[in-house]
Amino acid sequence: MGNTLECESRRKPPVWLNALCNASYVEEEQEITTCYTTDEPSSSLKDEDEHVDTKQQAAMRDTTVQGTLTVAAAGVQMGCSLVLASTGGHVLLTTTLGALCAVRVLQVTYPIPTRCTLVAGSVGLGALGGDFLLQRMSAPAVHAGLTVAVLGAPIAMMCDKIVPLVKFKLAEALQAEKDTDDDSGVPQSPWHNLLMTSRVLVWASNDTLWWVGSYGTLIVGAAVSSTMPLATMNVLRALTTPGASVTNGLLFLTGTLVGSAALNALKGIVTSEAQTRFAVHLQKLAISNVLRQEMAWFDCQSTGAIFTQLGSVGSIRSLLSDLIPTVISTGVKLTTTIVILSQYDVKLAAICLISVPSDYFFSQWYSKFLKQYALEAQEITANNNNISLEMVQAAKTVHVFGAEDQQMGHYWDQVDELVKLRTRNNWILAGSSILSTAVPYGFSIVMFGYSGYLAQMGLLDITQLLTVAAYQSTLSSHFQSLIESYTSYGTLMGQCAKGFHFLNRLPRQKRGTHRPEQQLQGRIEFKNVQFGYQSSHDHVLEDFNLVIQPGECVALVGPSGGGKSTVINLLLGLYDPTRGTLTIDDHELCDYDPAWYYAHGVSAVNQNPVLFNSSVMDNIKMGLEEEDISEAQVEDAAKQANAHDFVMQMPDGYDTVVGKGGEFLSGGQRQRVAIARAVVRNPGILLLDEATSALDAESEHSVSEAIQRVMKGRTVVIVAHRLSTIQKADRILVISEGKIIEEGTHAQLLQTSGAYSTLVCSQLIADIPLEKPQ
Ligand SMILES: Nc1ncnc2c1ncn2[C@@H]1O[C@H](COP(=O)(O)OP(=O)(O)OP(=O)(O)O)[C@@H](O)[C@H]1O
Ligand SMILES: [Mg+2]
């Protein structure tokens, strides 16, 4: 599983897609350098780094814009080419557009300069001009020339005028996303939606072939099926014209029907495969991104919220599997319809062209409300999940305190709020559906009136009039479908906004790449360290200074909440100091490569070690590569940890499964497996946080024995409550309110009659008879 994930993450998408993604697929190192931290910059080196980052980001934005426009242009050209091909347009024009599209597609995958597309365009136009002269202004050549002019002008304009605007807007959206903190949610704007859509394409690029197959069959199928009314009218015309042959018409109609059915079936198969692959990929991406977040993020997230967001990630796939296909097929059908209508009368086609943007602007205005609703509903659902999860988990406590009614009250409040929200949304939806029907039908009436006028003037015969009527009726449903797609797009983006943020979030902890050649010596230095947890805003450690020499064993004692575990957390690199430095062997901890640091640098055992529902062997080897560790090394570690004997007595020895959270083992056994897991990596620094305090006397004895054995030859920081452990430390530090208030050996500290001796006497440690040193 781990390997698969790694492979997945290392399979890179094309260059431009990579840039679009910016946050998700950029190589690990790049991610680390581009991520931002809450630290104030402390050196000019940091400033330089940030300068480089900004440059990289600017370059990425440029590539992002270029990529988006390239794809848009390729889409337009491909669509036109296919429409022309399917409607019997000019062969040379069709080929030219096809060639342009091919160059665009190549440009997407390889860094071909825009010049190439211009050259390809000029060649195409040259060919067209030659053809035009040869044909002496034949109708198809004129038609082709006009189409090129009509299509060429907006594309050229787009490149010259719109590119800077799009660049600026996308850059703004990227920046707004970066400036957003986790609580306030993701900024919502059409540009940000475009950015997110681009990212979905990045994630889908893993299965490019399947999606190309899916959309290819969709486009061709839509073009073929939209010629159906024309084919039907051809048959009708042949039937009503005396002496005309119906065979060709029938063949065209049959071909259209069979082709459309076959393409539909093929599309179904290819699309469902693409969807499944994409869904699996999203799941992997979401889980792996959760696991790489920093601890401070987990502190601020409830489990319910994480699971709700994981769930919302799934809905992202409907963008690719429902929305984009609907828009594409509607777009193709609409274009085909307009091309066919323009053959009869240009004004008819013009009315269609006007009605499209009118509907678009109307729906854009409307989708604002729906997006807002989606975000609010998601928030309330997350709260609901949280409350119900908490109630179930703490059912016993709720029962014992008789707090059922109170808890249910909280829950109902949230449900009521959700109901109110849904009612409001239903009204908005109802209004939307009335208007979205009225607007396109209004345009249909205008069109029908105009075509009736043309028939009266003798410019359309009866079959042409029927063809126009048939296309008119489909036109309104195409409009409808476009409007619905846009409103659904707004809703979907609202629903997925948190999911996107979730998938894209970069861990805000800077980590380096330092990998020492040899094992750590284990020198630790805290220099003026200040630290507070993000969720509480108070400083737990203030001006904390401490030097621990290699091989030294230091015990941390002190009142509850004094900051002992916080020191361990900082040494584990779970959090970074907000000020000051923490160095290990004279390198800042954040400069170490985390993979190396956890595999060879540091290991920890705490009060309630978490074991996974797999074998003892897998639990001990956890996080290490198979080739890095042999079974003999695992057994050796288990022997040091006093675990080997009891493991061998279990039915399957090291292959025995330990159950969920290690439930098949006793507390002491769990602890010893955890110690084996810590020492098998041969760490330079061993951290023990109250590793024996939850055990009974007998288990404690064997665990303590194991601890004494594994402490040899490495730096050890131990948080302990038992005198038996503390006494053996080289140095004892008393930590209270985030400060070291006393330090020395057991004997020295008892003589001072300070906080330590009070702690000892007040039975911090009652299980050992106290002997005052002479
Ligand atoms: N994840 C966290 N988020 C917010 N505050 C925290 C977090 N962990 C600890 N704290 C707070 O930091 C302070 C120091 O806690 P810490 O766990 O370091 O104390 P401790 O000395 O290990 O106590 P104990 O002996 O009870 O284990 C306490 O006020 C605690 O409430
Ligand atoms: Mg603690």
- State pLDDT tens for residues 686-714: 998 876 665 666 667 777 777 777 788 88
Which atom of ligand 1 has the smallest separation from the CA of 295? 1
The closest ligand to the CA of 557 turns out to be 1
Beta bridge partners of residue 716, listed in sequence order: 553, 686
Nearest 5°: CA angle at 361, between 358 and 363? 105
Report the C-alpha dihedral over residues 768, 771, 773, 774, rounded to 10 degrees.
-160
Mean pLDDT, range 501-512, rounded to an integer: 80
Residue 523 backbone class (left: φ over 0; alpha: ψ -120 to 50; beta: rest): beta
User: Which residues surround ligand 1 with Cβ inside 6 Å?
Assistant: 299, 533, 535-536, 540, 558, 560-566
pLDDT for 110 beyond 60: no
Q: Which residue has the tokens 């070690």?
A: 609
Tokens representing residue 396 in the block? 């016993």
- Amino acid (1-letter code) at residue 146: L
- State the distance from the centre of ligand 2 to the C-alpha of 758, rounded, in angstroms: 19
- Residues 699, 765: Cα–Cα separation, whole Å: 17
Indicate which residue's Cα is closest to atom 29 of ligand 1: 561
- State the distance from the centre of ligand 1 to the C-alpha of 524, rounded, in angstroms: 21
Beta bridge partners of residue 749, listed in sequence order: none
pLDDT for 338 beyond 80: no
- State the distance from the centre of ligand 1 to the C-alpha of 553, rounded, in angstroms: 22
pLDDT for 600 beyond 80: yes
Indicate which residue's Cα is closest to atom 17 of ligand 1: 565
pLDDT at 464: 76
Mean pLDDT, range 649-657, rounded to an integer: 90
Which atom of ligand 1 has the smallest separation from the CA of 735? 21
- Residues 66, 39: Cα–Cα separation, whole Å: 34
Nearest 5°: CA angle at 358, between 352 and 362? 145
Are β-strands 553-557 and 715-719 bridged in parallel, bridged antiparallel, or unpaired?
Answer: parallel
Indicate which residue's Cα is closest to atom 16 of ligand 1: 563
pLDDT for 717 beyond 90: yes
- State the distance from the centre of ligand 1 to the C-alpha of 691, rounded, in angstroms: 16
Residue predicted with more confidence, 57 or 468: 468
The closest ligand to the CA of 566 turns out to be 1
29 pLDDT band (50/70/90 cuts)?
A: very low
- State the distance from the centre of ligand 2 to the C-alpha of 733, rounded, in angstroms: 14
pLDDT for 603 beyond 50: yes
Q: pLDDT > 90: what percent of the chain?
A: 10
pLDDT at 19: 43
Which atom of ligand 1 has the smallest separation from the CA of 567? 18
For residue 449, CA distances in Å to 342, 444, 455, 473 come to 16, 9, 10, 13
Contact present, 222 and 328 (Cβ < 8 Å): yes
The closest ligand to the CA of 531 turns out to be 1
Mean pLDDT, range 93-121, rounded to an integer: 57
Q: pLDDT > 70: what percent of the chain?
A: 71
Reported as a single tens digit per residue, the pLDDT across 270-327 is 988 998 898 888 888 888 888 888 888 888 778 887 887 777 777 788 888 888 888 8
Class of residue 57 by CB neighbours under 10 A (exposed 0-12, middle 13-18, buried 19+): middle
Indicate which residue's Cα is closest to atom 28 of ligand 1: 561
Indicate which residue's Cα is closest to atom 18 of ligand 1: 563
pLDDT at 510: 81
Indicate which residue's Cα is closest to atom 6 of ligand 1: 533
**Structural domains of the chain, with CATH:** 1-179 (no CATH), 274-507 (1.20.1560.10), 524-764 (3.40.50.300)
Reported as a single tens digit per residue, the pLDDT across 421-437 is 888 878 877 777 777 77
pLDDT at 695: 63
pLDDT for 52 beyond 60: no
Residue predicted with more confidence, 493 or 149: 493
pLDDT at 31: 36
pLDDT for 408 beyond 70: yes
- Residues 315, 541: Cα–Cα separation, whole Å: 43
- State the distance from the centre of ligand 2 to the C-alpha of 560, rounded, in angstroms: 7
- State the distance from the centre of ligand 2 to the C-alpha of 460, rounded, in angstroms: 88
pLDDT at 150: 53
pLDDT for 34 beyond 70: no
pLDDT at 33: 34
pLDDT at 356: 59
- State the distance from the centre of ligand 1 to the C-alpha of 738, rounded, in angstroms: 10
pLDDT for 525 beyond 50: yes
143 pLDDT band (50/70/90 cuts)?
A: low
Probe target for ligand 1 pocket from 536, 575, 765, with the most ligand atoms within 8 Å of CB? 536
Indicate which residue's Cα is closest to atom 25 of ligand 1: 560
- State the distance from the centre of ligand 1 to the C-alpha of 124, rounded, in angstroms: 71
pLDDT at 192: 81
- Residues 304, 380: Cα–Cα separation, whole Å: 11
pLDDT at 393: 75
Mean pLDDT, range 702-731, rounded to an integer: 82
The closest ligand to the CA of 540 turns out to be 1
- Residues 605, 333: Cα–Cα separation, whole Å: 65
Contact present, 744 and 731 (Cβ < 8 Å): yes
The closest ligand to the CA of 294 turns out to be 1
pLDDT for 23 beyond 50: no
pLDDT for 45 beyond 80: no
Average pLDDT for the chain: 75
Probe target for ligand 1 pocket from 299, 530, 533, 764, with the most ligand atoms within 8 Å of CB? 533
* Low-confidence winner among 9-18, 150-159, 695-704 (lowest mean pLDDT): 9-18
* Low-confidence winner among 231-240, 396-405, 599-608, 765-774 (lowest mean pLDDT): 765-774
- State the distance from the centre of ligand 2 to the C-alpha of 609, rounded, in angstroms: 14
- State the distance from the centre of ligand 1 to the C-alpha of 310, rounded, in angstroms: 29
User: What's the gap between Cα 323 and its chain centre?
Assistant: 19
Choose from 23-27, 59-63, 534-538, 655-659 the range with maximum mean pLDDT. 655-659
Probe target for ligand 1 pocket from 294, 564, 718, 735, with the most ligand atoms within 8 Å of CB? 564
Contact present, 203 and 281 (Cβ < 8 Å): yes
* Low-confidence winner among 17-31, 150-164, 543-557, 605-619 (lowest mean pLDDT): 17-31
**Phi, psi at 528, each rounded to 5°:** 45, 45
pLDDT for 530 beyond 90: yes
The 3 state secondary structure assigned to 677-722 is: HHHCCCCCEEEEECCCCCCCHHHHHHHHHHHHHHHCCCEEEEECCC
- CA within 13 Å, CB half, 122: 5
